[in-house]
Structure 1
Amino acid sequence: MTRKTVHLAVYDTYADWETGHATAHLVQNGFTVRTVGLTADPVTTMGGVRIQPDLALDALDPADSGLLILTGASLWETGDKLAPFAGAARTFLDAGVPVAAICGATAGLAREGLLDDRAHTSAASFYLEATGYRGGAKYVEADAVTDGDLITAGPTEPVAFAREVFARLGVYEGPKLDAWYRLFHDSDPAAYEILSA
C-alpha cells in the first residue's frame, strides 16, 4: 500500500451519504479506498446497504494510509462500541496521518479528547458539550474545519467535508478546489469549465 490509500471506517448504522463525494473523487484522482470494520464481518449502513470490510481494525496501520475517514452512525450515540475507531484516530494523529470525521464521529473524537486542543466543528456546539469534552473554546461555527491533520464537519456538510479532504491531500488546489466546491455545493455551471480545464 501507498499513501494513496485512504481508509474508510464502516460499521452498522454508518451514514451512507456523508462520504460519497469524498470517496468518489478520491478514486477518480488515483486514490484507493479500503474499508475498515471492527472485524471482517459485514456491516449494514443506515441506508440498508451491506458492506464487507476489506480489513479489520486491528490490522489497520497508519503507515499504510494517507487518511482515515470516520462517518456518523447511530452507534456513536448508544454506547462505546465505536470507541476503538476513536482510539485509531488518536493513533493516526500521533503518527502524523490525517483523520477526517463528520457528524457523530466528531462526538467520538470529543470523548477521546482529540478535540480539546484542536479547532473543530460538528452538528452544533451543544452536541459536543454533551460528551463532557473540554474543547468548547476551540469550537468553530463553520461548515467544515481543518486544524493540521484533523478535519471535522457537521452532518449536513458532506460537500464541504470532501473539499477539506481534497485540500489536505492535494487532490484539488486553488481555483480547481474552489470550482469543485461551487459545482457540487452551489450547482454553479461556470465552475465546470474551470474544473475540467
Structure 2
Amino acid sequence: MSRKPVHLAVYDTLADWEPGYATAYLARSGHEIRTVAAGSPSPETVTTVAGVRIKPDMSLADLRPEDSSLLILPGADLWDTGDDLAPFARTARAFLDAGVPVAAICGATAGLAREGLLDDRAHTSAVSFYLAATGYKGGERYVEADAVTDGNLITAGPTEPVAFAREVLGRLGAFEGEKLDAWYRLFHDSDASAYEMLES
C-alpha cells in the first residue's frame, strides 16, 4: 500500500532551516514531499527568507486532508505581519478535524493560536508571551519544551528544528524506538556513537 504524500506549506519569507531535517529524513524513509502554496488556479512561486525560490507542486485550494499523511507549517515573517497566511491555519483546522497530523514550528504556532487550535491542546513555541500576544485562550496549555506532541498536533519553537523533526519522524514512523533516539542524539547532541545504531 503506497503512502500518502507529506505536504509542506511554502510561502514568502519561509524560514528555510526549520523544516529541513524533517523533510529530508521523511524523504529518505520513502515519503514523498509535496510543496503547497497559495494562489489559484496555479500556485505562485515563493521566495524564502534566504532568497531561495520555490516553485510549488500544488495550490492550497486543491489540498485535501484525505490525500495527505501530514501537513508541515514552517515559520515565516508573514505569520506576524498580517493575515496573508491565515488560509494555511484554516487548512490545519481541516486536517486536525479529519484526524490528519499537523506539524507547526515558530511563527506557524502563532497562526494556529489565532485560529483557536492551541486553546485545548498542549503546545509550545518560541516563548509563552509570543503566543499570549495573539490573544488566544490556551496559555495554560503552554509547555516549556523543545517540541510538544498532543494527539495529531506537533509544535516547536524556531531554535528547535531537530526536536521538531524528531516528533515528526516518530509520528510517521520514519524512525522508532532506539533508532529515533539515536537519530536525535546524532543531530542534536553531535553524539557520534549514535551513528552506528542508525546504520544497523
Residue type of the partner of 1:100? A
Partner of 1:8: 8
Partner of 1:156: 159
Q: Are residue 141 (structure 1) and residue 144 (structure 2) matched?
A: yes
Q: Deviations over 1:26-78 (max 9, x none)?
A: 11000000000012110000000000010010000111100000011000010
1:21-170 superposed matches below 5 A:
21-39=21-39, 40-170=43-173
CA contact (8 A) 1:86 1:108 kept: yes
The TM-score with structure 2 as length reference comes to 0.97
- Give unmatched runs, 5+ long, in structure 1: none
Aligned counterparts of 2:158 and 2:3: Cα–Cα separation in 1: 27
* RMSD over equivalenced CA pairs, Å: 1.0
Residue type of the partner of 1:101? A
Equivalent position SS for 2:24: helix
The TM-score with structure 1 as length reference comes to 0.98
Equivalent position SS for 1:92: helix
Q: Deviations over 1:120-168 (max 9, x none)?
A: 0000000000000000000000000000000000000000000000111
Aligned counterparts of 2:2 and 2:165: Cα–Cα separation in 1: 21
Deviation for aligned residue 1:4:
3.5
CA contact (8 A) 1:146 1:152 kept: yes
Residue type of the partner of 2:75? G
CA contact (8 A) 1:6 1:67 kept: yes
Aligned counterparts of 2:4 and 2:189: Cα–Cα separation in 1: 28
Equivalent position SS for 1:145: strand
CA contact (8 A) 1:2 1:64 kept: no
Aligned partner of 1:173 among 171, 176, 182: 176
Q: Deviations over 1:52-107 (max 9, x none)?
A: 01001000011110000001100001000000000000000000000000000000
- Give unmatched runs, 5+ long, in structure 2: none
Q: Percent identity?
A: 74
Deviation for aligned residue 1:2:
5.1
CA contact (8 A) 1:144 1:154 kept: yes
Q: 1:117 to 1:3 in 2, by over 3 A?
A: farther
Count of matched residue pairs? 197
Aligned counterparts of 1:54 and 1:171: Cα–Cα separation in 2: 23
Aligned counterparts of 1:18 and 1:63: Cα–Cα separation in 2: 25
Aligned counterparts of 1:96 and 1:32: Cα–Cα separation in 2: 20
Aligned counterparts of 1:60 and 1:141: Cα–Cα separation in 2: 32
